[in-house]
Homo-oligomer: A and B are copies of this chain.
Amino acid sequence: MPETLLKQRLAEELPPIGAALARATERLPEPVRPVARHILEAGGKRLRPFLTVLMARLLGDAGERIYDLAVTMEMLHAATLLHDDVLDDAASRRGKAAAHTSFGVTQAILAGDALLSGANAQVADFGDPRLCRCFSTATSETAAGEILEIAAQRRVDVSAEEYAAIVRGKTAALIAAACELGALAANAAPDAVRAAADYGENLGMAFQIVDDALDFAPAEETGKPTGGDVREGKLTPPLRFYRLNLAENERAAFDAAFVCGLMSAADAAEISLRVREGGFDRRAREEAQDYLEAARKALMRLPDGPERPVLMEMTDYVRDRRH
C-alpha cells in the first residue's frame, strides 16, 4: 500500500487543520461567513496547509500555532477559487454549485477579498517579516499567474514556456509558499528554507500538469465534466500535443472553434476521447515526472525525519492520482 504513511498522517492532521479553518472563518465579517464556509467546506485536499505542517514538523517546529499559519494558504487558495469562479463563470466547483451562482457575484467577490485580507492579517499576527514577505510574494505571483492565464485564453499559439509561466504562478507559487512558510516558522537555516520551497514549487508544477491531464479523463472517473479546458479556451499541454498532431485542415477547424469559443460539450467530449486515444494526456503526465524527480531531490536536501517519507509519498500521490 504505497500511500499508507501519507493517508495515516493526513488523517491525524485534518482535525487540527479543520479547527484552525473554523477559527479563521469565525474571524471573518459575519455576512461573508456562509460563502467562506461554502467554499472551505466543499472539501478540497487541504494539500497546502498539510504541506506547511509537515515542513514545520520536519524542521523542528513542535508548537500548535503552526495550524493558524498553515490555514492561511487554504484561505488564499479559497479566495482564488472564488474569484476564478466569477471569472470563468464556472458552472460548478468541486462538485457543488459554484459559490457565485448560489450567493451571487457580489458575495463571491467580497468573500474572496475578505479571505485574502483575513489570511494576510493572520500571517501578520505572527510578527515575522519573513512570513509576511513569503505570503505577499505568493499572493502577487498567484495573481500574476491568473492574469497570464486569462491573457492566454483562446489563443492557439501558447508555447510550452508560456504555459509553464502560467502554472508556476497560478499553482506552484502557492504550494512553494506553503512549504516555505513551514520551514520559516521552524526557523530553519536558509538552505533548508530554499530546499523546502524548491520541493513545493516542483510538486506544484507536477500537480497542475496532472490536473490538466485529468481534465480529459471521462467524467465518470473524475466527477468533473470532460474537456472543460477545451471549452474554456485553455491550451494545456495535452491539447497542445493534440492540436500539433492534427492534419492541416482539421487544425484550421479546431483553431476557428477554439479561438471563437464555439466548442460545445459534444466537441469537448470528442476531443477528449481523441486526446486519450492519442496518449497526449499520458505524454503530459510524463512531463510531470521531471518535476517530481526535482521535488524528490530537493527533499533529500532536507533532514531525515518522520515527515520526509510522507513528503516523498506525496510525489507518488501527485503522479498517480486519478481525480
- CB atoms of A129 and B124 under 8 A apart: yes
Copies in the assembly, this chain: 2
- CB atoms of B106 and A121 under 8 A apart: no
A114 within 8 A of B: yes
In chain A, positions 119-142 with a C-beta closer than 8 Å to chain B are 120-121, 123-129, 132-133, 135-137, 139-140, 142
A150 within 8 A of B: yes
Contact of A147 among B110, B132, B139, B148 (CB under 8 A): B110
**Chain B min CB distance to A183 (Å):** 17
Interface of A: prevailing SS: helix
Q: Which residues of B contact A43 (CB under 8 A)?
A: none
Q: Which residues of B contact A114 (CB under 8 A)?
A: 140, 143-144, 147
Encoded as 1 (CB less than 8 Å from any B CB) or 0, chain A from 134 to 172 comes to: 011101101110111011000000000000000000000
- CB atoms of B150 and A31 under 8 A apart: yes
A238 within 8 A of B: no
- CB atoms of B129 and A143 under 8 A apart: no
- CB atoms of A120 and B143 under 8 A apart: no
A83 within 8 A of B: yes
- CB atoms of B133 and A117 under 8 A apart: no
**Chain B min CB distance to A188 (Å):** 19
**Chain B min CB distance to A109 (Å):** 6
Contact of A120 among B32, B139, B147, B148 (CB under 8 A): B139
Of residues A86, A106, A125, which shows the largest number of chain B Cβ atoms within 10 Å of its Cβ? A106
Of residues A118, A121, A128, which shows the largest number of chain B Cβ atoms within 10 Å of its Cβ? A121
Q: Which residue of B lies closest to A125 (CB)?
A: B133
Q: Give the docked Cα–Cα distance between A125 and B123 (Å).
A: 15
Q: Which residues of B contact A123 (CB under 8 A)?
A: 132, 136
Contact of A87 among B106, B128, B143 (CB under 8 A): B106
**Chain B min CB distance to A83 (Å):** 6
A113 within 8 A of B: yes
Q: Which residues of B contact A87 (CB under 8 A)?
A: 105-106, 109-110
Q: Which residue of B lies closest to A35 (CB)?
A: B147
In chain A, positions 275-310 with a C-beta closer than 8 Å to chain B are none
A29 within 8 A of B: yes
A175 within 8 A of B: no
Q: Which residues of B contact A106 (CB under 8 A)?
A: 87, 150
**Chain B min CB distance to A38 (Å):** 15
- CB atoms of B110 and A139 under 8 A apart: no
Q: Which residues of B contact A139 (CB under 8 A)?
A: 116-117, 120-121
- CB atoms of B31 and A151 under 8 A apart: yes
In chain A, positions 95-113 with a C-beta closer than 8 Å to chain B are 105-106, 109-110, 113
Task: List the 3 shortest-distance A-B pairs measured between CB atoms, nearest first.
Answer: A117-B139, A29-B144, A132-B132
Q: What are 11 A-B interface contacts by the 8 Å CB criterion?
A: A29-B143, A110-B143, A110-B146, A114-B147, A116-B139, A120-B120, A121-B133, A121-B136, A123-B136, A124-B137, A129-B129
